[in-house]
Chains A and B, each alone.
Chain A
Amino acid sequence: MSARIKESELLGKEVTSADMVILGLEAIDKADATRQLANRLVAAGRVTNIETFLEAVAKREEHFPTGIEGGIAIPHAQSESVTIPSVAIATSVAGVDFGAEDGKSNLIFLIAAPANGGSEHLEILGTIAYKVMDEDFRNELLAETDPAVIAATLTREVQK
């Protein structure tokens, strides 16, 4: 059960923090947006190899773009480069084209899952994906101007 213990140790880490939040993101396209967010994950010590990770995200996007009606995008990947299950968040006034049917995405969640993450890890990320579908929750995030509050709002949800 040592794997279990290790898992719960990792669970002590929040899925995101203020330094993984980008307010007013400006990006030329989704690859640029994803890279900017991934850079935050690297800086936070949650992704070890940005190229490997971005490749996995791009591959996932190729399968089907992650832009969703309602101004959301949730690029994501499971990769060996990910050390801790994490989410980087960006708000963008101009929006970024993630292939949503109704236009650009103003709220972007980059979800990073470790390749060998235990089910509890992945549940946390699943909870975030679930919550993203809640319009009130999205509006709460979009209206916020403090990265720390955005991070706390997201963390609060997964720890319910």
Chain B
Amino acid sequence: MKFVGVTACITGIAHTYMAQAALEQAAKKLGHEITVETQGSAGINPMKQELIDAADGVIFAVDLSVKGRERFAGKPYIELGVSKVIGGDKGVNVMTEFIAAIAAGTAAKVEGNKPEPQAPAAPKAEKPEGDKKKGFFGGLFG
């Protein structure tokens, strides 16, 4: 399965990145894929919307509110504090339970509607997007 995740902690110094490592390790161990966006004090490098769109589920390991949460609208998700995925088999257990919830159709879905990019009339149209890596957050984090 394919997952995306967001990690964020209070100081944005350490746990954000430890949770990222924990989720990546868990995915590897279980034979899945995950891309994690760290929302730490070093800034945010927003992941490509295509990754989110292709994901089977979203894991928010956060002590703060997720920035750009609407990007994940409609996706099955689980949300918990960073400490719940760091250490021992925590990450693996969280992911295992989440997968079971997705399979059972009981996983909650991220609320709201995904903001449509410029051309709502042309879904999946090949937009000349270029390398707008920082598109979503503008130049907030240079």
Interface residues of A (CB under 8 A from B): 60, 63-64, 66, 68-70, 74, 76-78, 100-102, 111, 113, 119-123, 125-127, 129-134
> What's the nearest-Cβ distance from chain A to residue B37, in Å?
13
Interface residues of B (CB under 8 A from A): 10-18, 20-22, 25, 38, 40-43, 83, 86-88, 90, 141-142
Q: Are the C-beta atoms of A68 and B18 separated by less than 8 Å?
A: yes
Q: Which residues of B contact A64 (CB under 8 A)?
A: 10, 83
Q: Are the C-beta atoms of A77 and B11 separated by less than 8 Å?
A: yes
Complex Cα gap A51–B42 (Å): 25
> What's the nearest-Cβ distance from chain A to residue B6, in Å?
15
Name B13's contact: one of A63, A78, A100, A131 (CB within 8 Å): A78
Complex Cα gap A78–B12 (Å): 9
Q: Are the C-beta atoms of B83 and A69 separated by less than 8 Å?
A: no
Complex Cα gap A70–B16 (Å): 18
Name A66's contact: one of B14, B21, B25 (CB within 8 Å): B14
Complex Cα gap A4–B57 (Å): 38
> What's the nearest-Cβ distance from chain A to residue B133, in Å?
14
Q: Are the C-beta atoms of A119 and B43 separated by less than 8 Å?
A: yes
**Known A126-B13, A130-B20; further 9 A-B contacts with Cβ < 8 A:** A64-B10, A68-B87, A74-B18, A78-B41, A120-B42, A126-B14, A129-B17, A130-B17, A130-B18
> What's the nearest-Cβ distance from chain A to residue B25, in Å?
7
Q: Which residues of B contact A121 (CB under 8 A)?
A: 42
7 A-B pairs with C-beta separation under 8 A: A68-B86, A70-B87, A74-B14, A76-B13, A126-B40, A129-B17, A133-B21
